[in-house]
Structure 1
Amino acid sequence: MFPERRDFEQMILNTGTGILIHEAASKNILWANPAACRMFGLTLEELKPLKAHHMSGQEEQYRREVGVAWLQSAVVHGSSRKQWKYRSKDGVDFLTDARATLVQCEDGPVVMVEFRSIAEEVELQEELTRVSESLQRIMTHTSAGIVVLDEDNCILDISPHAAALFGRTPTELSDVHLEDLGRCEPKLDDELVVGRLDDPHGSVSIQQEVTKCDGSTTWLAGDLEIVAHDGIRSRLLTIRDVTERVEWERRNAYQEANLQYLSRYNAMGDMAMILAHELGQPLAASTNYLSGLKARLLSESVDSRSLTYGIDQIEKQLRRAADIVSSVKRHVRRIESTVALIDLNATVEESLYFVRLRAAERGIRVYAQIPERTLQIEGESVLIGQVIINLCVNAIDEIAQPTTEIKELSLETGAENGEAFVWIRDQGRGMTVVPSDRLASGAFSSKQEGSGIGLIISEHIVERHGGTIDYLPNTPNGTAVRVGLPLADRSVAAPIQLAP
């Protein structure tokens, strides 16, 4: 029994695979085998106090929270495998294939991480990919135009198909400089292009705008690369007509810009009202305190404590005014198309700041049920926040009607079936006249002189994020609006069933 245990210990101590033992609860390092110490260039005593961010790559995907979540997954599921980039004592990163396994020991559960360097395997895979891409380019030459250029980028030879893409014959294009036929991006004398083509295996992608003799514009795209044959190095350009793709991208960019403009325009009106209302309170209070200070200064006896109190209160009110301005500026900053992983709950919380301000001035209570969990979605936080504000403000305007008895707005968030959702409910007049499909299409507004532009913007934003907006009757009366957005990681959120 004991000799066998010693044999296993010797195997672990002499294996080339690195082994780290972490405490299951705290994730602290308890032990490391010699192979792991050699890879890190650290002794066992130096390794023990280290945390994930001390010994991992600096890229976003290797941050400490991700490493802890990976180890916790092994605690929950028994094992978890991941490619993880560690960092040695001298600052050199090395990519590994790592497996974390939960092991029940006499002193309690631990997580054993076995890892091995796969840097050479990655390099081999990259080389195979390069070869595969070269073969793919060769295979597509038959469907693409081919242009042979000299060192000065003048045309030595050109295929009939390529010449047709330029709207000329091969004879007409002989000895013509490529950039005389249209603007290239990047330019052929750009340092990046020159540097890439100095490499015997270098290549660079270019796009060219060509104006033909009939005045029409064609967009061509292709790869310019060096081809060596019989001791001769030639510049080979393979090109295709990508006019339809470029025009589609331009139309899409215009629609994106227009949507952002409409959203920003709609937000500006709301923010102007918030500023006008909310700044009045701290500024009026500051004025009152200043008047009190002036009165005290004119009196025969001046109490320094009361003066200090008044100055402190003025500073407090001015700081509140500055906070309000900063919040509004953050919200109506230039809306850019930056898609990222965001927490829907955090976005809703930020939007509720403005919703509560609008509701308070009209005597409406806002109830929010937001669970303490992360609802991770992929999208643009500012635009999603504007959807929440648009829908809540629409509900507030309905609740403010004299016929609405219950002056309450409720909001809930959660997740079900791989989708994060937000419910917004009021007990106003409801949709007894206008069908919900007209409301969803943006063709209805319950406000006098309302165009429904906020609903149109909200619908477009949500659709662009792959989600839906549903308008349903609330119980016992009013309207319930459900915004659904796909979760970025469907395994994160457990189903939560909530009735509308």
Structure 2
Amino acid sequence: MNGEIFPSGPDFRAMVQGLDSGILIHEAASKNILWANEAACRMFGFRLEELRPLKAHHMSSPDQRYRRDVGVAWLQEAVVRGESRRRWKYRAKNGEVFLTDAVAKRLDFRDGPVVMVVFRGVTPEDDLRAELDRAEGYLQRLMVSASAGIALLDEENRVQDISDFAARLLGTTAEEAAGQRLDALATPSLPLDGEVVSGHLSHPGDPVEITFEVDAEDGTRWLSVDIEVVRHDGIQSRLAAFRDVTEREELARHNEYQQARLQYMSRYNAMGDMAMTIAHELGQPLAAARNSLMGLQARHASGNLSTEDFEYGLDLAARQLTRSAQIVSSVKRYVQRIETSMAVEDLDDVVADALYFAQLRAREKGIELQADLSEEPLPVKVDQILIGQVVINLCFNAVDEVSEAIAEGLTPPPVVELTCFREGDWACFSVADRGRGLAEPTDQAFSTKQDGAGIGLIICERIIERHGGELVFTSGEPGTIATGRLPLVESVGSSEE
């Protein structure tokens, strides 16, 4: 070899021609092909003389992603920025399309700038590897930047990979969480190996939402975790997305506590008031029975007691005691269910049980309580003691309204009407009076009347709403009609708990 710098011009040419990668030289301004190496000619199936006059659309895939203006823009980007890389599908002379990994680079020759495109064929294995690399990179970026924590689980629900944010939500680090079962890091609301979770995860694209309880240093944290099976190119994984729902969960639990307290207070007040009413009602027959027995005792002591009078006195006392027993039995039947939970009941039966106590108030006030129950069953899912108390409260209000209207010199009919009926998908009951109309606000929680029913109209409304229904008040012209609507069980179907 001579002393010139190695390699020489001919050597460079030999090196370029010996490459397996194809090389195309384009004029920078016109994008015309100036030259191609032997590898490029071989891939296209053209001689150099045949390649030179070809344009981008002659030698590219007919797919719209590789149309001529896109190819020109790609080469122009290399002219402006110095280099541009992309996947490009070329088309050979025989029409066969082949995918390449191509790099366009601007070079400044003595005769002016050119764009050199170096490309190599991409095999399916190369394409799959690149796709996996891109997917992994995307997942890593997603796990770093996502507002919801992300974790990858295996089929045993062990953590394979987890974002730092998700690890922090679980009160641990990504390194400590790796390899552990998810239910070892937090307590799930559903067993991860149970039928519900397994049923969802046996079908890709069918996520299951589970609430996890985390014992954190600053208190209990609640996480909503959506676990889903995802498949991509034959690879199956379980993807878990974490969201902090502590505030929502605490609010829900607070509301549950308030609802439980509301029910307790309504029962407590109502039953106390009812006890006073029953004590008053029992006083009459017990006093009558006592008087009969004391009269018999006095007449027996004086020796002036015939057999006929003795039997009459005992019969009178027995009837009064039987009346007392009936009152006690009615109370017992009603209150023995005070701690029961929601159950399917016939609204007619609920109203009939409450009717007895409402009639006590009506008789005391000299008002007739007329009941017209439905001839067809009205199945509803209710807490019987609470709905019964609503009926009693509305009847008490109606009876008192008519009584007070009469006391003021008005002449309403001394009647209150209690009706049960069906209205579409609703089981309904209504209490109607012909009094002065509803003038007082309904937003008191408990009754302030001396002989009230214990709960105010606002609690009546909340009890009905708690059962998925509504309580509305309309004008009876004159008077007021209070109507309670509850969803029929047959219209709720399988969604009932």
* TM range, smaller chain: 0.5 to 0.7
Equivalent-residue separation in structure 1 for 2:254 and 2:340 (angstroms): 15
Q: Could you say what secondary structure the match of 1:361 adopts?
A: helix
Tell whether the 8 Å contact from 1:377 to 1:485 is kept in structure 2 after alignment.
Answer: yes
Q: Name the TM-score, length of structure 2 as normaliser.
A: 0.52
Give the corresponding residue for 2:416. 409
**Which whole-Å CA distance do the structure 2 matches of 1:267 and 1:473 have between them?**
27
Counterpart of 1:456 in structure 2 is 458
- Aligned residue type for 1:291: M
Q: 2:167 aligns with which of 163, 166, 181?
A: 163
Per the TM alignment, residue 409 of structure 1 is displaced from its structure 2 partner at its CA by 1.3
For 1:474, the equivalent position in structure 2 comes to 476
* Contact 2:162-2:178 within 8 A present in 1 as well: no
Q: Distance in 1 between matches of 2:463 and 2:347?
A: 14
Asked if the contact 2:401/2:435 (under 8 Å) is kept, the reply is: yes
Letter paired with 1:289: S
1:398 to 401, 404, 414: 401
How far apart are 1:268 and its partner, in Å? 2.4
| CA distance in 2: counterparts of 1:237 and 1:292, whole angstroms | 87
One-letter amino acid matched to 2:168:
A
CA deviation after TM superposition for structure 1 residue 361, in Å: 0.9
Given that 1:157 and 1:174 are in contact with CA atoms closer than 8 Å, whether structure 2 keeps it comes out as yes
1:363-406 per-residue CA deviation (whole Å, 9 max, x = no partner) reads 11112222332222232222221111111111111111112423
Does 1:246 find its partner at 2:249? yes
Corresponding position: 1:483 with 2:487: no
Give the C-alpha shift of residue 279 in structure 1: 0.7
| Of 293, 297, 303, the match for 2:296 | 293
Among 415, 429, 439, the alignment partner of 2:436 is: 429
- The alignment partner of 2:375 has SS state of coil
Relative distance call for 1:145 and 1:330 in structure 2 (3 A) is farther
Work out which of the two has the higher radius of gyration on C-alpha atoms and give 1 or 2.
2
The answer to whether the 8 Å contact 2:266/2:454 transfers is: no
Conservation of the 8 A alpha-carbon contact between 1:358 and 1:393: yes
SS in 2 for 1:400: helix
Return the alpha-carbon distance in structure 1 between the equivalents of residues 252 and 172 of structure 2.
Answer: 27
Q: Deviations over 1:261-320 (max 9, x none)?
A: 232134124303322221101210221122133224424476566556544554443343
> In the aligned structure 2, how far is the partner of 1:272 from the partner of 1:339?
24
SS of 2:366's equivalent? coil
1:212 equivalent in alignment to 2:216: yes
Paired positions, count? 325
Are 2:273 and 2:451, in contact at CA under 8 Å, matched by a contact in 1? Answer: no
Are the counterparts in 1 of residues 188 and 213 from structure 2 also a CA contact under 8 Å? Answer: yes
Does the 8 Å contact 1:440/1:471 carry over to 2? no
2:282 paired with 1:279? yes
- The separation in 2 between residues aligned to 1:185 and 1:388, in whole angstroms, is 38
Q: Is the contact made by 1:442 and 1:452 (CA closer than 8 Å) also made in structure 2? A: no
Q: Deviations over 1:443-470 (max 9, x none)?
A: 9999699999511011111222232222
**CA, structure 1 residues 284+460, in 2 after alignment: closer, same or farther (shift >3 Å)?**
same
User: Kindly tell me: are residues 170 and 277 of structure 1, through their superposed partners in 2, closer, same or farther at Cα, counting changes over 3 Å?
Assistant: same
Q: Read off the aligned partner of 1:466 and give its amino acid letter.
A: G
SS of the counterpart of 1:358? Answer: helix
Question: Any idea what SS the aligned residue of 1:338 has?
Answer: coil
SS at the partner of 1:279? helix
The answer to whether the 8 A contact 1:293-1:307 is kept is yes
SS of the aligned residue for 2:365 comes to: coil
Q: Which residue of 2 aligns with 1:338?
A: 341
C-alpha distance in 1 between matches for 2:301 and 2:394: 53
Q: Which amino acid aligns with 1:385?
A: G
CA distance change for structure 1 residues 283 and 447 in 2, over 3 Å: closer, same or farther? closer
Are the counterparts in 1 of residues 380 and 488 from structure 2 also a CA contact under 8 Å? yes
Query: Are positions 1:320 and 2:327 aligned together?
Result: no
Q: Distance in 1 between matches of 2:179 and 2:344?
A: 51
1:223/1:308 CA distance change after superposition, 3 Å: farther
Change in CA separation of 1:334 and 1:207 when aligned onto 2, cut-off 3 Å: farther
Rate the CA distance shift 1:168–1:424 in 2: closer, same or farther, 3 A.
Answer: same
- Helix, strand or coil for the counterpart of 2:171? coil
Using a 3 Å threshold, how does the CA distance of structure 1 residues 177 and 446 change in structure 2: closer, same or farther?
A: closer
Residues 306 and 187 of structure 1: CA distance in aligned 2, closer, same or farther (over 3 Å): farther
- Listed one character per residue, the Cα deviations across residues 209-228 of structure 1 (whole Å, up to 9, x for unaligned) are 32323x1421357799xxxx
Distance in 2 (CA, whole Å) between partners of 1:286 and 1:454 is 37
SS of the equivalent of 2:456 reads: helix
Counterpart Cα distance in 2 of 1:163 and 1:370: 61
Q: What letter matches 1:429 in structure 2?
A: R
- Output the CA distance in 2 between the equivalents of 1:490 and 1:428: 35
Structure 2 runs not aligned, ≥5 long: 1-142, 203-208, 228-237, 493-497
| Structural mapping, 1:61-72, within 5 Å | none
- Structure 2 distance, partners of 1:377, 1:289, is 46
Contact 1:267–1:332 (Cα < 8 Å) also in 2: no
Cα distance in 2 for residues equivalent to 1:417 and 1:305: 61
Matches of 1:285 and 1:165, distance apart in 2:
73
Superposed displacement of residue 484, structure 1: 2.5
Where do 1:349-368 residues align within 5 Å? 349-368=352-371
User: Are 1:398 and 1:446, in contact at CA under 8 Å, matched by a contact in 2?
Assistant: no
Q: Note closer, same or farther for the CA distance 1:208–1:489 as it changes in structure 2 (3 Å cut).
A: closer
TM-score (normalizing by structure 1): 0.52
Aligned residue type for 1:489: E
Cα pair 2:381 2:489 within 8 Å, conserved: yes
